[in-house]
Chain A
Amino acid sequence: MTALLGVTEFSKQFPVGGGPGTWARLKRRFTGGVEKLPKVYAVDDVSFTVDEGETVGLVGESGCGKSTLVRALTRLIDASAGSIKLGDRELALKPSRVFARDRDRARIQMVFQDAGESVNPRFTGFDTIADPLRRLRKLRGKALTERVETVASQCGLPLQLLTRFPHQLSGGQRARVGIARAIAVEPDLLVLDEPTAALDVSVQVVILQLLQRLKKEFGMSYLFVSHDLSVVRLLCDRVLVMYLGKIVESGPAVEVFEHPLHPYTQALVAAVPRLHENGSERLRLIGEPRSPIDPDPNVCRFYGRCPRGADACKTTMPALRSFGARSVACHFAEEFLPQPRIAS
């Protein structure tokens, strides 16, 4: 399987509080100082790949950096460091400000979390889906109408709903509009940022099944960002678990959820309410996460909240180590590895 997307040592930092004001900047120019500014390390040295035809899940809680990572991948913001390669092309070279007009813009598209927010309230469904086709495929008139209607039908959106405004559509219908817009230009990689988070369970099923079908039909790869582990387990081949800007675990989705190796993943899996269990063993995380501002590069990000905490955890940042198809960033990963089965 060839790698469609390759992310290598990607980092993104934000200056705290938006950075110094004009006067402070002028002052620094004159005093000649390049003081170290406090920065939020939203994403820190992340590397992974997405192969053609794969669905990769990206899991993590608020503050883990997945939104930032996703916005950088889709070229809405720039990287602070690292590389983002789509096929052979290095995307990070072109600034996000001008990427909208790039010839590869159509290759990566995104389905947003809240379709209500991500669709212009003054655009009809038709306008919304037509926009990328007008801008990126230069379609007009009859060709445009045909393409919009085709895509809408593929997404299960009745054609008469195309003249409606977002507030006249149900949640599920809005979600379909968002999906239709994203796939209209036939992207290679589709990033889905919690596409079903705002939907009812029954609607969620239909939308997920639609996404699965579209992927097979058009041979896209998916990067599926979600906090809902049950959904990720169903839809994704592989999953990446992020915490405070770093990838702490990765591997085949089913395995990661049945045998989490990293203590954070273990707590995450234990916290998910399951239908057929009752209040599982309380593996609860105490306290608040560490500050993402100028974190100490030698201390594990999870130290302090982790049920274990040894000296190694605060002197050396654990590296992401591979164990077959799985990777874990923890000094004690070996202890949790599933034992080899003994044939009886």
Chain B
Amino acid sequence: MSDAPTLSVEGLSVEFRTRGGIVRALDNVSFSVGKGETIALVGESGSGKSVTAYAIMGILDPAGRASAGRAMLGALDLLSASPAKLAEVRGRDIGMIFQNPRTALNPIRTVGRQIADVLIRHGNVSRRDAPAQAVEMLRAVGITDPSRRAKAYPFEMSGGMCQRVMIAIALAAKPSLLIADEPTTGLDVTTQAVIMDLINDLATQMGMATIFITHDLALAGQRSARIVVMHAGHVVEDAPTAELFANPRHPYTAELIAATPDSAVSLDKLASIPGSLPDLRRADLPPCRYSERCPRKLAACAQPLPHADLGGGHIVACWNPLPAQHASAPAVSAA
């Protein structure tokens, strides 16, 4: 890659202090996003994908803190930046779209005002010009009759429209990185398609890097160039999309694919993933958090996780990865 990545997360670990003990939500998470690239963070509930986004943005729950690692946005480490600096960066350099558009928008402020707020604060737009530019943003996200809609409140709009407004707010100051946390959960599948088209189109237009967080593997596959698979706070696999589906190397990835309804012709052929998530409060968590449910477990799995670089941008964190299924994978070499 000729350009430096827009965002580089290195060795991120996050802990939460709870009543029941310390939850080691993330452990040594590393990945990067290049300029203009769209990657997907995929995982089930409890995988830590949302926590990763919140840690990067510096909006973790007060009980949580990043105990190790860096999140480099260019030359700035977001994890050790001062609150003032972070407040500047959020909105101007990073935009975030949240899961439930209705609750993420301020219910007592018109949508036009909410967009204008971002423009004024981060976009160097004067108070006088902001309303007009807000209307333009609404038009850019595909809302019809934007000048009238700008005066509407979130409760007057449908879920799909609210999500478009949130996209407009996130992109108003033209950030270099967009984080989309399950942006289409709760939306109809036809609306989902349109919203994802919008995000992809705008990202391409603006040369923006995108991190797309989702539990839907098929959706991730359709919309991103690279997929990072997470399990119980670890990155287990990181590969270009086509390569991941053709040659899943981590047992969990393969199970996840086999459990997706789309992958099977009949219900009996659908595989469920054995076991369940380990309790992240345990002091005796094994280095590989999948090992206790893994059918391919070896004695070697008691060692700290490797980051095996299989070439072609395909990384897997496994001592006993699955063999390559198809010839498209280049020669394997463990790191």
Chain A contact residues, CB within 8 Å of chain B = 61-62, 170-171, 200-206, 208-209, 212, 227-231, 233-235, 267-268, 270-279, 282, 284-285, 287-288
Contact = CB atoms under 8 A, between A and B. Distances in A.
Contact of A274 (B190, B218, B259, B268): B218
Which of the four size classes fits the interface of chain B? 35 or more
A187 B45 CA distance: 33
B23 interface: no
B219 interface: yes
A276 B256 contact: no
A209 B188 CA distance: 25
Given A171-B45, A202-B259, A231-B261, A209 B190 contact: no
A287 B144 contact: yes
A271 B262 contact: no
Given A230-B262, A233-B261, A273 B267 contact: no
Contact of B267 (A171, A234, A279): A234
Interface in B234-274: 241-242, 245, 255-257, 259-264, 266-268, 270-273
B215 A201 contact: yes
A339 B57 CA distance: 55
A284 B45 contact: no
B44 interface: yes
A277 B222 contact: yes
B257 A202 contact: no
Contacts of A279: 222-223
A234 B189 contact: no
Contact of B272 (A62, A202, A235): A202
Contacts of B276: 170
Interface in B185-226: 188-194, 197, 215-219, 221-223
29 contacts: A61-B191, A62-B159, A62-B188, A171-B45, A200-B215, A201-B44, A202-B44, A202-B272, A205-B270, A205-B271, A205-B272, A206-B272, A229-B189, A233-B261, A234-B261, A235-B267, A267-B190, A268-B190, A270-B193, A272-B262, A273-B218, A273-B219, A273-B262, A274-B222, A275-B257, A278-B221, A284-B190, A284-B197, A285-B190
B174 to A, nearest CB: 25
B126 interface: no
Contact of A61 (B44, B188, B268, B272): B188
Q: Which 8 A-B pairs have the closest CB atoms?
A: A61-B188, A230-B261, A271-B193, A202-B273, A273-B218, A200-B44, A205-B272, A273-B219
A4 B11 CA distance: 59
Contacts of B263: 275
Contact of B270 (A208, A227, A271): A208
Interface string B144-184: 10000000000000110000000000000000000000000
Given A200-B44, A227-B189, 10 more contacts: A208-B267, A231-B261, A234-B264, A268-B190, A270-B193, A274-B218, A275-B262, A277-B222, A284-B194, A284-B197
A206 B271 CA distance: 8
B218 A275 contact: yes
A233 B273 CA distance: 21
A285 B194 contact: yes
A204 to B, nearest CB: 8
Contacts of A285: 190, 194
Nearest to A171: B45
Contacts of B266: 234
Nearest to B192: A271
A213 to B, nearest CB: 10
A268 B222 CA distance: 16
A171 B262 CA distance: 22
Given A200-B45, A268-B190, A275 B264 contact: no
Contacts of A233: 261
A153 to B, nearest CB: 19
B245 A275 contact: yes
Given A209-B270, A271-B190, A284-B193, A202 B222 contact: no
B272 A273 contact: no
Nearest to A206: B272
Contacts of A275: 217-218, 221, 245, 257, 260, 262-263
Nearest to B142: A286
Contacts of B267: 208-209, 212, 234-235
B217 to A, nearest CB: 7
Interface string B291-322: 00000000000000000000000000000000
Given A208-B270, A235-B267, A271 B45 contact: no
Contacts of A202: 44, 255-256, 259, 272-273
Contacts of A212: 267
A233 B45 CA distance: 25
A276 B272 CA distance: 20
A200 to B, nearest CB: 4
Contacts of B270: 205, 208-209, 234
Contacts of A278: 221-222, 241-242
A18 B234 CA distance: 51
B189 A272 contact: yes
Nearest to B256: A201
Nearest to A207: B272
A273 B261 contact: no
A235 B259 CA distance: 14
B187 to A, nearest CB: 9
Contacts of A271: 189-190, 192-193
B189 A274 contact: no
Nearest to B191: A61
B93 to A, nearest CB: 28
Nearest to A172: B276
